[in-house]
A and B are shown apart, each in its own frame.
Chain A
Amino acid sequence: MAANQHVGPSLPVRLRVPILPRMQTAVTLTLNGEARAFDGPMTVAALLATLGLETRKVAVERNAEIVPRSSYAGTWLESGDALEIVHFIGGG
């Protein structure tokens, strides 16, 4: 089952399910409340790059949990994930 083996070296166990296939598959995400489909598998870092966002100016929440900036490259997204991508704007 080599094709089904997990590709990252040190991810938490819960991120290994479902097992990521090597071929491209669509990943459907809810980004800031809107459904979007991407070619997967995909990490948070890859998603931000695809969206054209500078990682140092945004913060990401995945399924209501913060994704630390240091984990962007190692956090694989799964279909059905809900992401909030925020930044600072003017406010009182």
Chain B
Amino acid sequence: MDATLPQDDTWTVAGRRFSSRLIVGTGRYKDLEETGAAIAASGAEIVTVAVRRVNLSDPKAPMLQDYVDPKKYTYLPNTAGCHTANEAVRTLRLAREAGGWNLVKLEVLGPPPTLYPDMPGTLEAAEALIKDGFEVMVYTADDPVACKRLEEMGCVAIMPLGAPIGSGLGIQNAAMIWMIREQTKVPFLVDAGVGTASDAAIAMELGCDAVLLNSAIAHAKDPIRMAKAMKLAIEAGRQAYLAGRMPRRLGADPSSPLTGLIR
């Protein structure tokens, strides 16, 4: 690591401490080999994973664990594809049994084409999961009232979208992300919407503790290079946030002295 970066700039979620502020998904890659290489290049310590039926006709097919070592990376099971609270809770109970840990990412989605978070379903599932002992990182609408409610219920991280899942549109709601950041005391992440490195940097400059993304890396022409770009962007955005940006002003303010000009 660069000597100018503070060595102790870590963040903690549900009592687990991490150095990397980039959480990456493991979906949509060409193959498992590329998945493993891109994740290594991203420097991520947490990876999201989906829970799906085993293909019983091919039980010896290569598995994600063979390429993304669960001993090295913290697996964060998600509920992608779940459109009701009941589906999400069942999925995460299975994930807890398969993985043996209780830190999970909850998402209850509305219909296409937006797959926008279904907040009644999300609140219902979050309540059931917390009661059942889960530590819930929650994907949510950029709704400050719902986000506050989820935090008060005991969610361990609040994760609004910057734009619809897989859209790559970037942070479309910077002002709202900033306002929710201000009111949130648990870890706060942008989850979904990042399309390229500058989007990740913007999320970090807004004060996010971390960023969660998948498609921006997996669907880049060169996913491994983009993974590296994201790592750098997250670090750059974090440093810029800590450094504190200059104020915006309407009009120029010359950088060179106005005295001593030749005449």
Binding site for B on A (CB under 8 A): 31-34, 51-53, 57-61, 64, 66-69, 84-92
B interface residue count range (under 10 / 10 to 19 / 20 to 34 / 35 or more): 35 or more
Query: With A51-B59, A84-B94 in contact, do A91 and B78 touch (Cβ < 8 Å)?
Result: yes
Instruction: Report Cα–Cα, A85/B98, bound state, in Å.
Output: 10
Contact partners of A33 in chain B: CB under 8 A: 53
Determine if B53 and A86 form an interchain contact, defined as CB atoms under 8 angstroms apart.
yes
Q: A32-B56, A66-B93, A89-B49 are in contact. List 10 more A-B contacts (CB 8 A).
A: A52-B59, A57-B98, A58-B98, A61-B90, A85-B54, A86-B54, A86-B94, A88-B99, A91-B48, A91-B50
Determine if A66 and B97 form an interchain contact, defined as CB atoms under 8 angstroms apart.
yes
Instruction: Report Cα–Cα, A58/B95, bound state, in Å.
Output: 9
Query: Which of A31, A85, A88 has the most chain B CB atoms closer than 10 A to its own CB?
Result: A88
Instruction: Report Cα–Cα, A52/B97, bound state, in Å.
Output: 19
Contact partners of A89 in chain B: CB under 8 A: 26-27, 49-52, 63-64
Contact partners of B99 in chain A: CB under 8 A: 88
Contact partners of B75 in chain A: CB under 8 A: 88
Instruction: Report Cα–Cα, A85/B214, bound state, in Å.
Output: 26
Whether a CB of chain A sits under 8 angstroms from the CB of B65 is yes
List 29 A–B pairs whose Cβ atoms lie within 8 Å, in order of A's numbering: A32-B56, A33-B53, A51-B59, A53-B54, A57-B98, A59-B51, A59-B98, A60-B97, A61-B93, A66-B97, A67-B97, A68-B97, A84-B94, A86-B98, A87-B51, A87-B54, A87-B98, A88-B65, A88-B98, A89-B64, A90-B25, A90-B29, A90-B32, A90-B35, A90-B49, A90-B64, A91-B27, A91-B51, A92-B50
Instruction: Report Cα–Cα, A32/B51, bound state, in Å.
Output: 13
CB distance from A52 to the nearest CB of B (A): 4
Identity of the chain A residue whose Cβ is nearest the Cβ of B25 in the assembled complex: A92
Whether a CB of chain A sits under 8 angstroms from the CB of B150 is no
Contact partners of A87 in chain B: CB under 8 A: 51-52, 54, 63, 98
Interface residues of B in 20-37 (CB under 8 A from A): 25-29, 32, 35
Binding site for A on B (CB under 8 A): 25-29, 32, 35, 48-54, 56, 59-60, 63-65, 75, 77-78, 80, 90, 93-95, 97-99, 165-166, 213-215, 218
| In-complex Cβ contact of A32 among B53, B60, B94 (8 A) | B53
Identity of the chain A residue whose Cβ is nearest the Cβ of B86 in the assembled complex: A64
Query: Which of A34, A67, A68, A87 has the most chain B CB atoms closer than 10 A to its own CB?
Result: A87
Contact partners of B166 in chain A: CB under 8 A: 92
Determine if A88 and B50 form an interchain contact, defined as CB atoms under 8 angstroms apart.
yes
| In-complex Cβ contact of B97 among A53, A64, A69 (8 A) | A69
| In-complex Cβ contact of B28 among A68, A69, A88, A90 (8 A) | A90
CB distance from B25 to the nearest CB of A (A): 3
Query: With A59-B97, A87-B63 in contact, do A92 and B214 touch (Cβ < 8 Å)?
Result: yes
Determine if B53 and A84 form an interchain contact, defined as CB atoms under 8 angstroms apart.
yes
